[in-house]
Chains A and B, each alone.
Chain A
Amino acid sequence: MNLLILLFFPLVGSIAVLLNRNYAKQTALISSIITLGFAVSMLCNFEADASKQFVVDLAWMPQFGISFKAGIDGISMLMVLLTTVLTPLIILSGFNRTFKHTSALFALILFMQSALLVVFTALDAFLFYVGWEAALIPIYFICAIWGGADRIKVTYKFFIYTFAGSLFMLLGIIYLHLQTPGNTYDLQAFYALNLDSSTQAWLFWCFFAAFAVKIPIFPFHTWQPDTYTESPTIGTMLLGGIMLKMGIYGLVRWLIPVLPLGFAEWKELALILCIIGVVYGSIIAFTQKDIKRLIAYSSIAHVGLIAAGVFTWNLQGLQGAMIQMLNHGINVIGLFFVADIIINRLNTREIALMGGIAKIAPKLSITFLIVVLGAVALPLTNGFIGEFLLLNGVFQFNIWAAAIAGLTIIFSAVYLLRMYKNVMQGTLNELTGSFKDIHGSELVVLGVVCALIIVIGVYPQPILHISEAAVNGLIGEVNSKLAF
């Protein structure tokens, strides 16, 4: 199975969507399912060891040391699965909505999928950066064209914010490129560099800026609640479900192994920022009145914990981060989709105006509850596996850090159950009285989300197995450099 087909098939699909305007949604769905098929067939041929597989290495701009080099190891495999599994769900979630310029929207989503896949498989820094920025373009248009009332201002801010972060990373990449022996952008050449610790220390912040904005880590997060709230939900799902994982993936692949000394110098501070984010996001979520904004802040708390797990740089923390990236993607899509269903029917985002929906929408109430339970990390749901490993990783780093980060277990229950209670329970009012239960494609999306939540929660071992060897390899590589 050629990796190029996987990477560029979504682009083909994107063009097909534009050509086939009358059936844009269906074409997009079929394309994304075929891509998922490619990913699954690659998974079948995939050996879960630390090596890079399905490697493509084409000369792109050889005079500048740029090549089109991509490959998949266990970590990338998980990210590819994340992207290819979630994209059909995201597309399907738009099925019973009407959009202006439908074909353009779905073409952009597929274009974005392609860019994301490039980011997750790139083994060349230039290619990585191209994918990184290319993913920003479609989401910019999605938010700016199909967003809410305040969309232009918010999207502008989002774009400048992330772009400013990325430029620091570009600076870092160019610097590293000039340091490599043959002036190349190859990942392995970056790994082989032995820069002194003060250089690595400032380079660390260059890369950290880009990733921290994207994840987002406190205090680089202020674009996120606004953007999540103002974007169309389909864009929010892309952002929260898949795109922010680029940042975490970047930490794992491009920051820590490339700059181990810089990492060693700053990891405490980075970890503290992550954990502040966990508590801070949770506490803000307590009193949010807007359902999408509440979920946005809860997402800050959840990804803060994932990033904290990465910065502990031990097997449990990293494996927890790996599986939790997948889980968070699933859960956040579930949460935002439920929010979208409710907002769409009630025409308001105010939680205070809702209530009693469970009575007349039993299917929604069950699926919503399962998604909420996944997000609060109840055992036998996917969230627990991730948070258990993450907290264990943080615990190995420091017991107090684990205790404070562990507050998320309590806090997430507080804000999510508060939301569930205010939205679903209590008595019906005039607004919610005529609420219609979910049906058709809505039921399919939420059904798949709930099934994934429970299946991963009950039997996580196959997924943990995919990334274990690769994670172990990376840890070994970094630790051997730190040993000097």
Chain B
Amino acid sequence: MIDLVWLIPLFPFIGFLICGLGRNVLPKALLGGIASLAVIVSFAVSLGIFLQFDAKTAAVVNLFDWINVGTINIPFAFQIDQLSILMLLIITGIGSLIHIYSTAYMSHDAGFGKFFSYLNLFVFFMLLLVLGENYIIMFIGWEGVGLCSYLLIGFWYTNGEYADAAKKAFIMNRIGDLGFLIGVFVIIATFGSSSFSAVFPQAQALVSGDTTLTLITILLFIGATGKSAQLPLFTWLPDAMAGPTPVSALIHAATMVTAGIYMIARSNILFSLSPVTMSIIAVVGLATAIIAAIIALTQTDIKKVLAYSTVSQLGYMFLGLGVGAYTGAFFHVLTHAFFKALLFLGAGSVIHAMSNEQDMRNMGGLRKKLPTTFITMLAGTIAISGLPPFAGFFSKDEILAHVFEHNVVLWVIGVLGALLTAFYMFRMMFLTFWGSFRGTEEQKHHLHESPAAMTVPLIVLAILSVVGGFIGVPEALHGSHWLANYLSPIFEASNSRLGELSLSHATEYALMAVSVVGVIIAIAIAYVKYVKNGHVPLADSEARPALAKLSYHKFYFDEFYAALITKPLDALSGFFYKTVDKSGIDGIVNGVSKAPVEASKGFRLLQTGNVGFYIFAMVIGIVAVLAYSFFKF
């Protein structure tokens, strides 16, 4: 079964080809069916491998030699271990649900076939990313998902803003990718290979704090900040909401954006040996989590709220990685994939019902019209807020427990962020589903619950969001933490270096109690403000208090980047073109050719045409020559 791993990416690729080539020929139902089936079959194969795989070491499947130049040998090879298997299950599992959902969601779109071909291509690249046996294959997937993200964000490219958002996503990802690529070069130069099986054992022999390792890990982390939307490269993700909603669910919530966490978890031994990088990751992660949460507080677009929430949750995952809670961070990847995909799909269902309205100021009171969507989204919201026993509680709690042990200040800020999360998520729920309807009559008339193809995935994901956390119930709550045991071969080396969590059960209970009580209070405040008092966010034109304004305008990050990078570069471009190239270098070149012309203009004046002058010059010349020869010899 494990030898058949190449089938997993193959099916989505075939799906991509069929949908891409047959997009105008085949009927929509068939296209959607083929695309969904491709991912479902991949899921089945992944499940088979998951059930069969019990080895403690990774299995490597070699396909062919890709690049072979001197000492650089890069085989096209796949690696199967616990980490990649879990990622396979997430990608193909949630991927299948989202494909099924999309068949209904996109049914009225002219680009139906194109959409599914892109979606399948994305799954293909994402699978390459997690299956790659070395950093280069990972990089193929890494950039490939970036491409699909570009294509899908710009899916409705006739809208110039959407096309710009797509471009921005690709370019910001590329900034990170350069860091990743150079990091890979350093890895190859240091370890002589980019294969995981060659790099990690060698790295284990190095001492903690090795400068090369620090360099490598910082460069890799730069890559991760691009792909996983962390400070300072996170601004593309909210703009990426320009894409169709299923895309936001699959790419910009559940899978692609977690690639950075996957990569760091995969390279955990390198990071465990670089305490400096670990601190940077923790701080960046926490800062992103807080800033994104603050921005989410005032957003009015339902997808933007979820986007900033994603950025914030990714920040938590990085915070977890930064304090060495690899299992916790990965656990959060899993649970977040469930509930954030659910929330996005739910939001999609709302948008679908509202005839493409995304502004929460025009929603309200939808819970009666969209009961399934409402119940499932509520489950997702509780899960993300971290109330037991929903999935988010366990993963977030595990991260925060590690943070507490690491540094109490970080923990306080982290819990604060969790409270903000609960507040803005319930604000979104209250604004959307409670109160009275604020949209137009036409929209009200059109309101309907989505078809089964959309609600069934919602229900499945809701169930997962509720029970998904039980795979990682901590010892303190009398669980066995199946996930930690399952992943132990991957994180063994790191855990033995960083040490296990050594908090007493009493402390753990206290931490849980603090966060749960805080979350309940935050929800209560949101309830009072948005349901009891019926507060609706201000219109764009109205003045806001300074802090709210800062939050509403996303801390002016985009404006800041435009002023600091984009505009100066464009100005530099003009300067180089006009001044350096045209006037400077070309001026010199033209000057060289002009010099003889100018000189000849001067010299031609000697030709007076006066014969007497010529003869006079000749005589003078002869006299001069004679005089010279007389005095010389």
Chain A residues with a Cβ under 8 A of chain B: 157, 160-161, 219, 221-223, 225, 280, 283-288, 315-316, 319-320, 356, 358-359, 373, 378-380, 384-385, 388-389, 391-392, 395-396, 399, 402-403, 406-407, 409-410, 413-414, 417-418, 421, 424-427, 459-461, 464-465, 468, 472
Contacts and interface: CB of A to CB of B under 8 A. Distances in A.
Interface residues of B, number: 51
Contacts of A460: 66-67
Interface in B565-581: 569-570, 572-574, 576-577, 580-581
14 contacts: A221-B585, A222-B589, A280-B580, A283-B569, A285-B573, A315-B69, A320-B69, A380-B140, A392-B72, A410-B174, A413-B174, A418-B167, A421-B157, A421-B166
A287 B64 contact: no
Contact of B185 (A288, A315, A356, A395): A395
Contacts of B577: 284, 287-288
B585 to A, nearest CB: 5
Given A286-B569, A373-B147, A379-B144, A316 B70 contact: yes
B593 to A, nearest CB: 7
A378 B143 contact: yes
Contacts of A395: 182, 185-186, 189
B72 A316 contact: yes
Given A392-B185, A399-B186, A410-B175, A417 B64 contact: no
Interface of B: 64-72, 136, 139-140, 142-144, 147, 150, 154, 157-160, 163-164, 166-167, 170-171, 174-175, 177-178, 181-182, 185-186, 188-189, 569-570, 572-574, 576-577, 580-581, 585-586, 589, 593
A319 B71 CA distance: 12
A389 B139 CA distance: 14
B71 to A, nearest CB: 8
Contacts of B69: 315-316, 319-320, 389, 464, 468
A379 B570 contact: no
A334 B178 CA distance: 25
Contacts of A287: 570, 573-574, 577
A417 B166 CA distance: 9
A283 B576 contact: yes
Contacts of B572: 283
A392 B74 CA distance: 13
A395 B144 CA distance: 24
Contacts of B67: 385, 388-389, 460-461, 464
Given A280-B576, A426-B157, 19 more contacts: A223-B589, A225-B581, A283-B569, A284-B577, A287-B573, A319-B70, A379-B144, A389-B72, A399-B186, A402-B182, A402-B185, A406-B181, A409-B181, A410-B171, A410-B178, A413-B171, A425-B157, A459-B66, A464-B68
Nearest to A156: B593
B593 A409 contact: no
Nearest to B163: A425
Contacts of A284: 573, 576-577, 581
Contacts of A407: 178
A403 B574 CA distance: 24
A461 B67 CA distance: 6
Given A286-B570, A406-B178, A359 B64 contact: no
A360 to B, nearest CB: 11
Nearest to A355: B160
A417 B171 contact: yes
B569 A391 contact: no
Contact of A358 (B157, B177, B580, B581): B157
A320 B139 CA distance: 18
A379 B170 contact: no
Nearest to A286: B573
A414 B140 CA distance: 20
Contacts of B159: 426
Contacts, number: 136
A461 B68 contact: yes
A359 B158 contact: yes
Contacts of A464: 67-69
Nearest to A359: B158
A157 B591 CA distance: 12
A284 B586 CA distance: 14
Give the most central of B71, B160, B577, B586: most A CB within 10 Å.
B577
B185 A425 contact: no
Given A356-B158, A389-B67, A392-B188, A399 B182 contact: yes
Contacts of A283: 569, 572-573, 576
A358 B111 CA distance: 12
Contacts of B569: 283, 286
Contact of B163 (A222, A380, A410, A421): A421
Leading 4 A-B pairs by shortest Cβ distance:
A315-B70, A379-B140, A425-B157, A425-B163
A459 B185 contact: no
Contacts of A222: 581, 585-586, 589
A150 B188 CA distance: 50
B365 to A, nearest CB: 36
Contacts of B164: 421
A377 to B, nearest CB: 9
A90 B150 CA distance: 31
A407 B178 CA distance: 7
A286 B171 CA distance: 13
B147 A391 contact: no
A408 B156 CA distance: 28
A396 B158 contact: no
Contacts of B160: 421, 425-427
Contacts of B171: 410, 413-414, 417
Contacts of B570: 286-287
Nearest to B20: A366
A465 B164 CA distance: 41
Contact of B158 (A414, A426, A472): A426
Nearest to A396: B189
Nearest to A414: B171
A309 B178 CA distance: 17
Contacts of A359: 158
A280 B69 CA distance: 29
Count chain B CB atoms within 10 A of each CB in A280, A288, A465 and give the residue with the most: A280
A190 B543 CA distance: 79
A399 B581 CA distance: 28
Contacts of B175: 410
B66 A378 contact: no
Nearest to A475: B70
A161 B589 contact: yes
Nearest to B68: A461
A78 B164 CA distance: 39
Contacts of B189: 395-396
A409 B147 contact: no
A260 to B, nearest CB: 20
Contacts of B64: 459, 461
A379 B143 contact: yes
A285 B181 CA distance: 24
A174 B79 CA distance: 59
Chain B CB within 10 A, most for which of A319, A417, A464:
A417
Nearest to B139: A379
Contacts of B147: 373, 378
A461 B69 CA distance: 9
B286 to A, nearest CB: 27
Contacts of B157: 358, 421, 424-426
Nearest to A460: B67
A418 B139 CA distance: 24
Contacts of A472: 70
B185 A391 contact: yes
A413 B170 contact: yes
A395 B188 CA distance: 11
Contacts of A379: 139-140, 142-144
Given A385-B67, A410-B175, A461-B68, A421 B167 contact: yes
Contacts of A427: 158, 160
A317 to B, nearest CB: 10
